[in-house]
Amino acid sequence: MRRARARELGLAPGALPPGPVNAITDVPGIRIGHATVIEAAGAGHGELRTGVTAVLHDVLVGREPAGRRTLPAGLAVFNGFGKMTGSTQIAELGTIETPVLLTSTLSVFRVADALLSYMHGLPAYAQAATLNPVVAETNDGYLSDIWARAVTAAHVRAALDGATSGPVAEGCVGAGTGTRALGFKAGIGTSSRRAVLAAGPAVTVGAIVQANFGGVLTVGGMPVPSSATRPAEPGSCVIVLATDASLGSRELRRLASRAFAGMARTGSNFSGRSGDYALAISTAAADVRVAPDAAVPVKDLDLLFTAAIEATEEAILNSLFMAETTTGYQGHVSEAVPLDLVSGRPGSRSTSGS
């Protein structure tokens, strides 16, 4: 059975509708790029199954609108056993000023340095006195030689320069090339939700995840146990949310925290050895005033919270269902979810959209 997204299998978590391509790129201006590293053992390293994924918005690379260099942002950390460069400045100032890159744990530092060099080479940042690169990670060391620190500046540039809108490659690509979750091969996944707010027009909340965490896969409230002889060890999950809703940093932090409910729905055990991070950004146009916290109606916030939960849950399922069985470092194998175990489950229904 070919790999398929959740909705192709009749699975549509939640009640809100997805955007046109059911991806974080349904949020206007968001683009996603990947660079995938797959190499056989040699040249002083073992098998490599790793990469980097870039989350961009034109504002963050010095493009239109002119003069705007930051976006409102909020960060939530469920368990902090991980690495995310730039996180304290986001928490302090409530803004983000570079694209977000996802990669392998020990490649974070090289990727952050490469991101700085890339940004400094852009006309808008040539005279910047300082910059706060945002890079997050999960550990792909079971399937990839993590100490090789194989992600280079060329890979970072390829992911950034190749970022596009529209459908997003999922599964074993970019930062998800070597990741595992819930006893199966996982990777990158994405989804979106549309919500009509009382205080304004319809808005979109999109999620992209790098899934690499422990627990028992749960689909529609029912477990799908893995038969792997060595189940996935406690790991991590990085979630990036984007929305065109006009929200300030405090409400974005609250929005980010709801993403962990999406993780819980898929069966995460939230191990104390995991690094679970969620970052939310608002891409509301520069001429749209970001609403003070008190000005956002509670009903609208509740709807956005629901959108974040549902989009995260489906993004994680997509990261698993689109991933393929992978053999990597030291002959380790991670099996893909058998899709016949999840297709047509109770609660499945005919769906529209991607």
Catalytic residues: 236, 274, 276
Token readout for 308 is: 């974040």
262: left (phi over 0), alpha (psi -120 to 50) or beta: alpha
Q: What is the DSSP string of 298-335?
A: HHHHHHHHHHHHHHHHHHHHHHHHT---EE-GGG-EEP
Q: Which two tokens stand for residue 173?
A: 């690509």
29 is written with which tokens? Answer: 């201006």
Return d(Cα 214, Cα 81) in angstroms, integer: 14
State the DSSP string of 200-238.
SSEEEEEEEEEEE--B--EETTEE-----SSPPPS-EEE
Alpha-carbon distance of 6 to 72, in angstroms, equals 31
Chain-centre distance for alpha carbon 173:
12
Hunting for tokens 């040249």 — which residue is that?
43
DSSP per position, 243-258: E-S---HHHHHHHHHH
Chain CA centroid to CA 107, Å: 17
Neighbours of 66 (CB within 10 A): 9
Determine if the peptide bond prior to 65 is cis (ω within 30°). yes
Do 51 and 151 contact (CB within 8 A), yes or no? yes
Between helix 298-321 and helix 249-265 the angle, nearest 10°, is: 40
CA angle 327, 46, 178 (to 5 degrees): 45
Amino acid type, 124: A
